[in-house]
Structure 1
Amino acid sequence: MAAIKSIPEYYVTEYETNWSHKAQQKISLLKDQVILDNIDGKEKSYNKIGTVEFQRVTERAGATRVSDLSLEKRWLRPFPFDDTKVFDEWDEKFLGEISLPSSQLMEAQAAAYARLADSIILQAAVGDAYTGENGTSVVSLPSTQTVAVNYVESGTAANSGLTIGKLRRAKYILDDNDVDDMEPRTVAYCAKQLQDLLRSVEIGSKDYNAVQALVDGQVNKFLGFTFKRVSSKVLPVSGGVRQVVFWAKNGLRLSDSGKQTRMDILPTQSHALQVRSVGVLGATRDEEARVGIIYCDETV
Structure 2
Amino acid sequence: MAFTSSIPDGFQLQYSDEWTLGLAQRASRLEAYIDVEPISGESKRFQRIGPATSRRITERFGKSNPDDVNAEYRWLDVHFDKAVHRLSRIDALMLGSLGSPHNAVLRSHLQEAGRQMDATIIQGCIGGVRAGKTGGTTITLPAEQAIAVNFVDSGTPANSGMTFAKLLEIATMFGVDQVTGQDIEDHSQACVIVSPRQVKNLLNEQKLTSSDFGLQRLMTGEVVNAFGLAIKSVAPHLLPYDSGTDIRTCVAFAREAMVFGMVESPMSRVDDLIEGDYDVQIYSSWGWGACRKIDEGVITIACDESP
Q: C-alpha distance in 2, partners of 1:269/1:204?
A: 58
**Offset of residue 190 of structure 1:** 1.3
The one-letter amino acid paired with 1:145 is Q
> Does residue 1:259 correspond to 2:263, yes or no?
no
The one-letter amino acid paired with 1:87 is L
The one-letter amino acid paired with 1:246 is A
* Sequence identity (%): 28
Aligned equivalent of 2:43: 43
Q: C-alpha distance in 2, partners of 1:194/1:292?
A: 18
Q: Judge conservation of contact 2:224–2:231 (CA < 8 Å) in 1.
A: yes
Q: C-alpha distance in 1, partners of 2:144/2:255?
A: 19
Aligned equivalent of 2:192: 187
Match of 1:248 among 254, 259, 262: 254
**Offset of residue 136 of structure 1:** 2.0
Q: C-alpha distance in 2, partners of 1:259/1:48?
A: 30
Aligned equivalent of 1:158: 158
Q: Judge conservation of contact 1:123–1:236 (CA < 8 Å) in 2.
A: no
Q: C-alpha distance in 1, partners of 2:105/2:46?
A: 37
> Secondary structure at the residue paired with 1:250?
helix
Q: Judge conservation of contact 1:198–1:208 (CA < 8 Å) in 2.
A: no
CA RMSD of aligned residues (A): 2.1
Q: Judge conservation of contact 1:35–1:254 (CA < 8 Å) in 2.
A: yes
> Does residue 1:69 correspond to 2:94, yes or no?
no
**Offset of residue 217 of structure 1:** 4.2
TM-score by length of 2: 0.90
Aligned length: 296
Aligned equivalent of 1:229: 233
Deviations 1:228-262 (A, max 9, x none): 11111222222321121111111111112211100
Q: Judge conservation of contact 1:187–1:246 (CA < 8 Å) in 2.
A: yes
Q: Specify whether residues 203 and 265 from structure 1 end up closer, same or farther in structure 2 by C-alpha distance, changes over 3 A only.
A: closer
The one-letter amino acid paired with 1:156 is T
Q: Specify whether residues 75 and 104 from structure 1 end up closer, same or farther in structure 2 by C-alpha distance, changes over 3 A only.
A: same
Q: C-alpha distance in 2, partners of 1:28/1:198?
A: 23
Deviates more, 1:219-228 or 1:282-291: 219-228
Aligned equivalent of 1:196: 201
Deviates more, 1:158-167 or 1:176-185: 176-185
> Secondary structure at the residue paired with 1:261?
strand
Deviations 1:181-208 (A, max 9, x none): 2311111111100111233447997777
The one-letter amino acid paired with 1:45 is R
Q: Specify whether residues 203 and 176 from structure 1 end up closer, same or farther in structure 2 by C-alpha distance, changes over 3 A only.
A: closer
The one-letter amino acid paired with 1:186 is C
5+ long unaligned stretches in structure 2? none
Q: Judge conservation of contact 1:184–1:225 (CA < 8 Å) in 2.
A: yes
TM-score by length of 1: 0.92
Q: Specify whether residues 215 and 145 from structure 1 end up closer, same or farther in structure 2 by C-alpha distance, changes over 3 A only.
A: farther
**Offset of residue 216 of structure 1:** 3.1
The one-letter amino acid paired with 1:250 is E
The one-letter amino acid paired with 1:123 is Q
Aligned equivalent of 2:288: 281
5+ long unaligned stretches in structure 1? none
**Offset of residue 152 of structure 1:** 0.5
**Offset of residue 27 of structure 1:** 1.3
Q: C-alpha distance in 2, partners of 1:39/1:170?
A: 31
> Secondary structure at the residue paired with 1:244?
strand
Q: Judge conservation of contact 2:222–2:231 (CA < 8 Å) in 1.
A: no
**Offset of residue 60 of structure 1:** 4.2
Aligned equivalent of 1:118: 118
